[in-house]
Amino acid sequence: MAVRFDDAVSDLAELVRQVPRERLDGAGLGEWTLRELIGHTSRAITTVTAYLAQPEPAEVTIHSASEYLEVVLRQRGDDEAIMLRGRAAGAALGDDLAAEIEAMHVEAATAIAAAGLDRRIAIGGDPTVSMRLGEYLRTRAFELTVHGIDIADAAGVEWSPTPAHVLDALHLAAANASARGAGVEALRLLTGRRPTAGLDGVLRAGA
């Protein structure tokens, strides 16, 4: 699928420019304010730069974006740690959030161009949890797209992410639901067979 990390970041920056400043300290998602939600989302950019700055691991242990969502996010994720990192990232964005996101984008794009999409990266600095950069960027586009929708909803802003990114996000979410034994329920939900299919929190870490 035609997923482009650069386009996903540009979509986010354009969205953040539209967020009313008076909404930043209001509700975002869960316990996050809107600023903190944007901060969490921005980590989909900064982790690319951070991981590429680390030594290249010897082998790949996570082979696809869908496997990342299942193994790294759900099985190994720590909701409390994720929440706290989001808060810190939100505070670090400063007054011009969109400009800071664009600066993050420049750093990440430079690192990606130098590394190439076949470069192996260690997730969270753990060389035993590693994947190809190209597949990792699919997970970043997923985060930027899904949380972009969250940001738009919280801010009361009309926003349409790149259609190819929505399609790939749906694919990854469906694969994750299937890995959790909820594939049939997901299909019922998407085809209108069961509007209340009980899929809340499908991607929640540790769930």
What is the reported pLDDT for 201? 46
pLDDT in tens, 59-70: 999 999 999 988
Query: What SS3 state is found at 195?
Result: coil
Predicted confidence band of residue 93 (pLDDT cuts 50, 70, 90):
very high
Fold of 5-190: Four Helix Bundle (Hemerythrin (Met), subunit A) (1.20.120)
Across the chain, mean pLDDT equals: 90
pLDDT at 105 over 70: yes
The mean pLDDT of 47-57, rounded to a whole number, is 97
In the chain, the percentage of residues whose pLDDT exceeds 70 is 91
Query: What SS3 state is found at 53?
Result: coil
The mean pLDDT of 115-127, rounded to a whole number, is 94
Which secondary-structure segment (H or E) carries 111?
A: helix 97-115
| Per-domain residue ranges of the chain | 5-190
pLDDT in tens, 147-167: 999 999 999 999 999 999 999
Give this prediction's pTM.
0.89
Token pair recorded at residue 170: 């749906």
What is the reported pLDDT for 186? 82
Query: What SS3 state is found at 104?
Result: helix
What is the reported pLDDT for 207? 35
Write the CA distances from 181 to 49, 56, 75, 167, 176, integer angstroms.
34, 34, 14, 21, 9
